[in-house]
Structure 1
């Protein structure tokens, strides 16, 4: 049977938050005929195997910390009647995500975006064939095409038996809580998942290649989180490499590794690879379009999300901007539609001073330059650093060994002491950073911080009283 023929103004490949935000704005605000295509579940990584289920799991881990370490010093006596119900929690979390999938589809309908569920492949630079779930085919000829197909987690190809491990996707498919886990990776995904496992009672081993993890973050963050994870009982394996994973049967695996202490093996229930992500381009047949990729396989775009092909654009994890953050993709997608269909020729996302957080234990917030980056950009003589480390009043009732640190660093540049970097670690850092992120985006100086009256007693007041 010959493919069904369709035409549209705007074809969006990928049903993640960024692509859908762009399609909806193009259709609802500017009247463009938009079609969105997704082969998996709507919402992309964030909704299904990323931000949303991760934060829900982090909430559970935070509650576990509170119950096991924090309520007794405040005078409460709570006796648990059973262990953490991992399977029941997982089922409830999945049901929540399914509701979100339905909301995403409803929103597309409300904004008159046609949705096709199937696999997209380019036939030529203007035509994409979609193979639907029933194996029928639709050929779409589009005036403008957005590639926003996201990425997928990597599994190492040079380690024997690596397929016996799982990725961050598999983390959300675990039906039973591992008693012992090896998490391999140094980025925020590894740090978050290791922290959640550990807080929920799994014996957790974290393996990373160099002497520090979170290497794109400020050194203060790297050092404080490492110290805190060790205090919490996590096993850290710095300067490590893995050579083999063996299946021992009964769900057990043996990980062969080398770290700072030499060679060793570790018997675990789960090996989790969190070693980076790759663009989801394998089946798209993008090469037929002539769109250029960088050496890591990401689509090269300019500040306006343009590729080297006039009518093809890209955003989100699949492009080379380096911010694998859902709000970044959403903002970029909306501005792209403003430019393409709304007549706003200068609309683009400013990628400077984008706040980001790591839901570690404790939370981390960061925006702007790290201290090494600031010194390299402005010169050490033009940089002034204000920082403090203290114990949040919340922990005042607890024994010393149960007190988690709070640490803040404000990096300023020039005579006016413009704030060019802010790095915070401690309770509620994610919520605190959102407000300060606005101030820094507006060009706040240290004097602006100082003029803000402190809210007492809070941890965040330290940011406006630093000397």
Structure 2
């Protein structure tokens, strides 16, 4: 029987990073993955492939709508979806291949198969051919991630009624894509096909899209996407989804009690994700789940079984790849006797539409509900020379600071390259900077980042320079 210091079940951004850090720290490490390629949902059917399609569709959109304004004259472009899907897979293959290289480089033993507990210290790996082997591990890290949620009355046929996984490999551009759910995944994939010529209708139960983000960002993103052609039906609950051949009908009711129906050729069900623990055999090890099916952990990500830990989407908290990675590092370093920490308040969230949306810290709504006295500063992207030069004039930066101390409590933005610029806010808040600190820092001209300085000036003294 093979034995290891640390065994990781699941090779997503939480699992593979945990394995790498454990190996770096000198632990004899194994990782178990049931699929032929490493990288989990994020690298195979999530973050990476969706961004590849988002970039391809944005290039097409610019060629069709924006090139002429830049003095570039071309024949009307044609979207080759098959090639976009092919390129997406090339990106995925390169990225997952890179993870395999890192496993080899760090001398991590990779087992292909389904990992399940036989006891707290023994894990069985069941391979696709039915054969199995048992390995022994001093510590085990559960990193099995999540899978798409659905509604109990929806039959996901994965042909016309689909999840994000199928949306990444369609063979045709939908005529009318109905998206159930106005969260990050639905809006990103809806944007892909909107740019390629689909009619896209988003049906959302809440009264706003991206409900977990700052309200200003929600309103601004809806306004921008509506301008791009996306349709929204908010405060509406879906009650039925029926397929008839190549057509799908969605029946819903709004909060006024009115019956509504939508007909299209594809329905994307994007109502969140749920932790994936099926087949883990947690009962054999005595590991407890909470009321939402997540693995219960303490502040050290340790389960009720002292040598078993859990990280990422399978535990409480935001379902974000970078959160999982940080947790993987934390567990490995704890086991090595180090004192790592994670500030969960400073894990940024991003929506990769165009313009992008990003936020870190508290929202204005959260701070007001908590009774915190705040100052709010904002600055529109359209007031920047850099934005006008590129044509990316939609969006704004919003900085929220404490009314007494001026410490930055929330940093939110929608605009070009927000996914990268948000880390200016993360860095500032990690060091507990004030809005005035940001306002006094020199920002290159012309740049999108100048909006950060201007919003900080607005939050500090209500004296932005360029509006």
TM-score, normalising length: structure 1: 0.91
* 1:373 shift after superposition: 1.4
Inter-partner Cα distance in structure 2 for 1:297 and 1:277: 12
SS of 1:304's partner is coil
Q: Is the 8 A contact 1:155 1:162 kept in 2?
A: no
Inter-partner Cα distance in structure 2 for 1:408 and 1:397: 18
Residue aligning to 1:409: 398
**Which string of whole-angstrom CA distances, capped at 9 and with x for unpartnered residues, describes residues 332-391 of structure 1?**
212211120x321x22322221122111231101010001212234x34x2111123352
* 1:393 shift after superposition: 4.2
Inter-partner Cα distance in structure 2 for 1:155 and 1:372: 28
Q: Is the 8 A contact 1:237 1:260 kept in 2?
A: no
SS of 1:411's partner is strand
Q: Is the 8 A contact 2:251 2:262 kept in 1?
A: yes
Residue aligning to 2:380: 389
Residue aligning to 2:104: 109
Q: Which runs of 5+ in 2 are unaligned?
A: 463-467
* 1:124 shift after superposition: 1.7
Cα RMSD, aligned residues only = 2.1
Equivalent residue pairs, number: 452
**Which string of whole-angstrom CA distances, capped at 9 and with x for unpartnered residues, describes residues 242-301 of structure 1?**
23323222x322222333683233331211011011111111121222222221111122
Residue aligning to 2:113: 118
Q: Does 1:351 align with 2:353?
A: no
Residue aligning to 1:365: 358
Dislocated runs of 4+, deviation >4 Å? 160-164, 392-398
Residue aligning to 1:446: 435
TM-score, normalising length: structure 2: 0.91
* 1:403 shift after superposition: 7.5
Q: 2:313 aligns with which of 310, 317, 340?
A: 317
Residue aligning to 1:216: 212
Q: Is the 8 A contact 1:74 1:397 kept in 2?
A: no
**Which string of whole-angstrom CA distances, capped at 9 and with x for unpartnered residues, describes residues 59-110 of structure 1?**
1222133223322222222213x52000111012112212322221221112
Inter-partner Cα distance in structure 1 for 2:356 and 2:157: 30
Residue aligning to 2:333: 338
Report the more deviating stretch, 162-171 or 437-446. Answer: 162-171
Q: Does 1:296 align with 2:292?
A: yes
- The change in CA–CA distance for 1:7 and 1:390 in structure 2 (over 3 A counts) is closer
Q: Is the 8 A contact 2:381 2:387 kept in 1?
A: no
Q: Does 1:75 align with 2:71?
A: yes
Equivalent positions of 1:36-185 (< 5 A) are 36-40=31-35, 41-80=37-76, 83-159=78-154, 165-185=161-181
Report the more deviating stretch, 418-427 or 190-199. Answer: 190-199
Inter-partner Cα distance in structure 2 for 1:329 and 1:187: 20
Equivalent positions of 1:150-299 (< 5 A) are 150-159=145-154, 165-249=161-245, 251-259=246-254, 262-299=258-295
